[in-house]
Amino acid sequence: MANALYDPAREAFLGGTLGWTGDIRVMLVKTGYTFSAAHQYLSSVSGSYDNGRSASLSGYTITAGVADANDTSLTATSAVACDAIVIYKYNASDSAAPLICYINSATGLPFTPAASQTVNIAFDSGANKIFKL
């Protein structure tokens, strides 16, 4: 599976109900999660696949349909294999937090962090940055 946007996020961006600003966060995903473009909320990924979450991203930019933000970090909750990150819009509950994109082909993935290890997330600096609509 290559990096991809979730279909409900595409629809929300086009419908104007989701924007690339505000409280966007990253979750480190344990090996075993099966990507589905139809997944809509973080609750489809969290639970047994959650291995740590970042604080809100900063430095959001939107240029020519390309989304970018400053690099971030998170703390891994356990020493277990991880093969992806998901980006989502934070909400008070995982069942209401919209998934935005799935990234599993980036430098450093897959890997196994140590428990309580700080994991630095460096977003792509190429033409498509984090993702392009």
Helix (H, G, I), strand (E, B) or coil at 54: strand
Ordered by start, the domain boundaries in the chain are 4-121
The pLDDT tens digits of the residues spanning 14-36 come to: 999 999 998 999 999 999 999 99
Distant-in-sequence, close-in-space partners of 47: CB < 8 Å, separation ≥ 6 = none
The pLDDT tens digits of the residues spanning 87-123 come to: 999 998 999 999 999 999 988 899 999 999 999 999 9
Q: Is 0.85 topped by the overall pTM?
A: yes
pLDDT at residue 1 greater than cutoff 70: no
The pLDDT tens digits of the residues spanning 40-65 come to: 999 999 989 999 999 999 999 999 99
What is the average pLDDT score of the chain? 95
- Residue 84's pLDDT band (cuts 50, 70, 90): very high
Rg of the chain over Cα atoms, rounded to whole angstroms, equals 14
